[in-house]
Amino acid sequence: MNQYPIKLAILDMYNGEPNQGMRCIIDIIGRFNHLLEFTIFDVRGKSEFPDIAQYDIYISTGGPGNPLIGDGKWDLKYYDFIDALLKWNAEKEVKKHVLFICHSFQMACKHFGLAEITKRNDTSFGVMTVHKTIAGAEDPLMQGLDDPFYAVDSRDYQVVQPNLKVFSDKGATILSLEKIRDHVKYERAIMAVRFTDYFVGTQFHPEADPISFVMTLRKKETRDKIRTMKGKRKFRDMLENLLDDEKVYRTNETLIPNFLRIAINDLIQTKKMVSN
C-alpha cells in the first residue's frame, strides 16, 4: 500500500470572501510538502464536498457570518458530511482526522450539542491570550505552547455554556478557554475542544501569522475600529505581540503542525498494520 502522498482536503468556508486564512493554511501544509497533497473544496459557495474514501485528513476553515444560519442546502450537507466521517471512523481501521477552525468549530459544537452559540456583546479581534484547561495541558495538540499562549481571534459569535453531560456522554473535552477578564461579567468562551480522538477544533485562528494580520490592518477602517475597541495603548501592545517570536509565531508554528504530525503518524502506522 502506497503511503505517500497522504491526501488532505481543505473545506473552504469563506464563501468567496477575501481572507488570509487560506494562504496561512496552505503555507503550513507546504511545510509537509513531500508527505501531503491537498485539494480545496468550496463548501459554502458551490456546495462542494470531497469523496470521503479518497482523503485522509480534513481542515475545515473559518468564515464570515452567523454559524447558526446556512441556506438550508450546503449547511445540511456539511452536517451530513461530519456524520459520515464519524461513521467511517466507527467502522474502519484507518481513521479520518479533522480540524475545525472558528466558524467550522462553532458549527461543529452546535451539531454535537455541546454548548450554546451566541452573539458576542462586541467583536473579538486581535491577539489574545488563551488558557489551557487541565485536559488541554495534556493533549498532544497543544504540546509546545505556553500556558497561557497567544493566538489571533476574529469573531462576532462565541461558544459558551457547555453542556457537561453531553461532553461526558460523547467523550469530548474542553482544551482551552478565553482569556481571564476579571473586570467584566461575561462568561469565558470555549476556545478549543477535542470532540473525539480524531476530531478537534479551535475557536481562534491557529493558522494566522503576523503577515496575515498586518494585511488586515492595511484597511484604515479596520485600524480605526480596533483602536476604538481597544484604545491606542492596547493597539500598540497588540502590534508588539505580533512581532514576538514566542507569541503568534509560536502558535502558527505549533498547533496545526502538531495536528498534521499526529494525523500523519497515525495514518502511516495504521496503514502499515492493515497492509501486513
What is the radius of gyration, based on Cα positions, of the chain?
A: 18
pLDDT of 185 above 90:
no
| Residues comprising the chain, all counted | 276
Global pTM value: 0.91
203: closest CA among 182, 179, 167, 184? 179
- Residue with cell string 478565553: 178
Superfamily the domain 6-118+131-146+157-209+251-275 falls into: Class I glutamine amidotransferase (GATase) domain (3.40.50.880)
Alpha-carbon distance of 274 to 272, in angstroms, equals 5
Alpha-carbon distance of 160 to 189, in angstroms, equals 5
Q: How confident is the model at residue 1 (pLDDT cuts 50, 70, 90)?
A: very low
Phi, psi of 4 (to 5 degrees): -125, 150
**Is the N-terminal amide bond of 5 cis, ω within 30° of 0?**
yes
- The grid coordinates listed for 185 are 461579567
Q: What is the pLDDT of residues 108-157, one digit of tens each?
A: 999 999 999 999 877 777 788 999 999 999 999 999 999 999 999 888 89
Phi, psi of 197 (to 5 degrees): -60, -25
Alpha-carbon distance of 272 to 150, in angstroms, equals 37
172: closest CA among 188, 187, 193? 193
- Residue with cell string 483602536: 227
Q: Where are the domains of the chain?
A: 6-118+131-146+157-209+251-275
Q: What is the pLDDT of residues 223-261, one digit of tens each?
A: 777 777 666 776 777 777 777 778 899 999 999 999 999
125: part of which helix (H) or strand (E)? Answer: strand 116-132
**Who has greater pLDDT, 211 or 118?**
118
Collapsed DSSP state (helix, strand, coil) of residue 147: coil
Q: What is the pLDDT of residues 42-58, one digit of tens each?
A: 999 999 999 999 999 99
- Interacting residues of 18 by C-beta distance below 8 A, sequence separation 6+: none
